[in-house]
Structure 1
């Protein structure tokens, strides 16, 4: 029951860390209370966002803030009883979203995004899971010319600064690509460098099976039992290792706090539901309804509708009012049929106030490493993070400069 490293958390980030360490000759135990890919990694829109060089910022326009304050917006909702607790985080998030600060953050963040598709494709090929990736990009669609023009200006900026490719879709071209979308749409933008996934849970499981084929071991266990020495309790007994990686997504802060780290980690919750398409309707690409903040994505189970952000306590009861609010709107975008899930799924996105993940060594403990805080881009950045952290832990030259992602910045 002795290992070189225990990795806590079997979501996309933890699994990728475990794979890359095992590839480098480390004996690794991957630990989670559930099977791989069954928490946050289960319920996303399946996007590997090569265009996502600017992480999602806090809105700063007065009109948008007033709209959010009414708590009726389809893309952001909040629980009033959580606002006082999360207010310090939101204040720092808002300050870091100033355009000048956001641009500085993007310079570091883009170094990770640059490799997201290539690292996924390499790992998927090794795991015999390439068929789960769709190299066709994804589409933003617009109900108004104003939204279309604003998003086009952003795409042009991203292209100038970071070489992000995009295709402007007028209404006829959009209808050619997606003939079953609403004919009243004012066009769209397609990001062809991005990939998407038709079953995120299946992809994480494929990477986990590859980890085990390399000689790694998965255990059901309780990350909250982690203690110095690096020991952790599992259903098969206590494991010990010379190093430990915390990759627990939204639950990372709880484990880190017990070890003396108070990190500014907050949670954005989100929901999804699957639908059958009506009659012969077909959706070919993931599609974001820009004005209403939800995504429709073709998945193995059906058409997945994923909501925007809900600000609430992480363990508060489900309140899928966002899903109920956007479902009628989504039905005007695409002919959705009946719901296929017994109840809405809810997940939790782990967020930092500067929108960048924490990747690197814990400053107070030898052998403790962090890999969490990926917010909306956990699926996108899982393989990049796994490779970067494994290179840091084994003393190899790193794919990107890890300094901007160090924990000490907080």
Structure 2
């Protein structure tokens, strides 16, 4: 079985890369160990974050770092045993998070973010997934006027620099907009240009089906068997191609390390649980409780409660203490009913120390390409990543400058 390109990874990024390559006339095989959308892309908050021009930085103020060091914060937890492995990454992350460096990163990162909604809407239309898309934005909600005023200043900066649209809601406006929210929240910012989805797994599945209607093929296989020039083992046998794309999210470094690359990829783990809404309660849009650090999103299955970040080794056993810590706060905010999942879901966000994804050619092998490291914005940036990489691979003019996202910026 011969193809033009192998795409390794069936998450949002890999599926979108495969779609865009197939749209441009290549014969593409999409390979993963599971059906598309059943790993990291399964468990996010469902946001397409047009406002996310500044990727999530590591706080640098001493008070916040000391709070995190105590390992009791609901938004960030860590495994002590993982710290010797994670600390070098955190030091580099801390370095890039300085305000001037973070601002420089945003100037590059925003060139992807500005296209995220339009590129998703194009694929939603092509794949017939309109019922999954929810327009109108999402709410960053606050428990104190001090926090709301500080976040309002940040939003005004983003609007001035990058045209980020938002509305500021006081307590009365918030109650009229979301009557089921409790009095613990005193106001919110709504980022109006963002979209959200009611089932991220179903959206990836819809894009994957569209890929198949274009003539693409999906295989269950073992990405770790990738070998130049280029082939991989699947349940249907060995398949070969002229080129290969590594889009395996938090497992990308497993494959790239075998090929001699030393990319500084780490993970931020996160959990979710679905809840029933009590009788008469309704949530119309995603809501972030900004001072506690969790998000509630109305999903097809129920109200999805998603946690912040857990710093741990990728394959360490689950420790969903954050979910237990934030659930009482969430019940103050919204009348949650019983848990609907037997166990909390655990996923891993693939992160680079400079907060930007790796998109582009490998620097040691011909016809090998990378698309991973999207951290919190894998769902958001999947379609624009797919388009940018496909344009690079077929020699078309790229929609954005790919230089900031090159692999060799890490001297790998």
For 2:253 and 2:218, locate their aligned partners in 1 and report how far apart those are by CA, in whole Å.
Answer: 22
SS at match of 2:337: strand
Q: How does 1:311-326 map to 2 (within 5 A)?
A: 311-326=311-326
SS at match of 1:310: strand
For 1:86 and 1:67, locate their aligned partners in 2 and report how far apart those are by CA, in whole Å.
Answer: 18
Corresponding residue of 2:229: 229
| Unaligned ranges ≥5, structure 2 | none
Corresponding residue of 1:96: 96
TM-score normalised to structure 2 length: 0.99
For 2:141 and 2:237, locate their aligned partners in 1 and report how far apart those are by CA, in whole Å.
Answer: 52
Matched, 1:129 2:90: no
For 2:185 and 2:36, locate their aligned partners in 1 and report how far apart those are by CA, in whole Å.
Answer: 39
For 1:343 and 1:6, locate their aligned partners in 2 and report how far apart those are by CA, in whole Å.
Answer: 34
Corresponding residue of 2:83: 83
Corresponding residue of 2:218: 218
SS at match of 1:3: strand
| Residues 10-59 of structure 1: CA deviation (Å, up to 9, x unaligned) | 00000000000000000000000000000000000000000000000001
Matched, 1:391 2:387: no
For 1:74 and 1:339, locate their aligned partners in 2 and report how far apart those are by CA, in whole Å.
Answer: 19
Corresponding residue of 1:34: 34
Q: How does 1:11-410 map to 2 (within 5 A)?
A: 11-410=11-410
Q: How far is 1:184 from its partner? A: 3.6
For 1:359 and 1:220, locate their aligned partners in 2 and report how far apart those are by CA, in whole Å.
Answer: 24
For 1:130 and 1:360, locate their aligned partners in 2 and report how far apart those are by CA, in whole Å.
Answer: 30
Q: Report the number of matched residues.
A: 410
Corresponding residue of 1:8: 8
Q: Please identify runs of 4+ aligned residues in structure 1 that moved more than 3 A.
A: none
CA contact (8 A) 2:96 2:102 kept: yes
For 1:184 and 1:55, locate their aligned partners in 2 and report how far apart those are by CA, in whole Å.
Answer: 28
SS at match of 2:143: coil
| Residues 232-261 of structure 1: CA deviation (Å, up to 9, x unaligned) | 000000000010000000000110000000
CA contact (8 A) 2:184 2:332 kept: no
Q: How far is 1:298 from its partner? A: 0.2
Q: How far is 1:61 from its partner? A: 1.0
SS at match of 2:313: coil
For 1:325 and 1:183, locate their aligned partners in 2 and report how far apart those are by CA, in whole Å.
Answer: 20
For 1:102 and 1:246, locate their aligned partners in 2 and report how far apart those are by CA, in whole Å.
Answer: 27
Q: How far is 1:183 from its partner? A: 2.0
CA contact (8 A) 2:184 2:333 kept: no
For 1:248 and 1:130, locate their aligned partners in 2 and report how far apart those are by CA, in whole Å.
Answer: 27
SS at match of 1:205: helix
Q: How far is 1:187 from its partner? A: 0.5
Q: How far is 1:372 from its partner? A: 0.1
| Residues 173-202 of structure 1: CA deviation (Å, up to 9, x unaligned) | 100110110124220000010000000000
SS at match of 1:68: helix
For 1:53 and 1:162, locate their aligned partners in 2 and report how far apart those are by CA, in whole Å.
Answer: 8
SS at match of 1:174: helix
Q: How far is 1:136 from its partner? A: 1.3
SS at match of 2:224: strand
For 2:82 and 2:338, locate their aligned partners in 1 and report how far apart those are by CA, in whole Å.
Answer: 33
| Unaligned ranges ≥5, structure 1 | none
For 1:150 and 1:278, locate their aligned partners in 2 and report how far apart those are by CA, in whole Å.
Answer: 33
SS at match of 2:111: helix
SS at match of 1:44: coil
CA contact (8 A) 2:272 2:304 kept: yes
Q: How far is 1:150 from its partner? A: 0.9
C-alpha RMSD over aligned residues: 0.5
SS at match of 2:83: helix
For 1:184 and 1:129, locate their aligned partners in 2 and report how far apart those are by CA, in whole Å.
Answer: 35
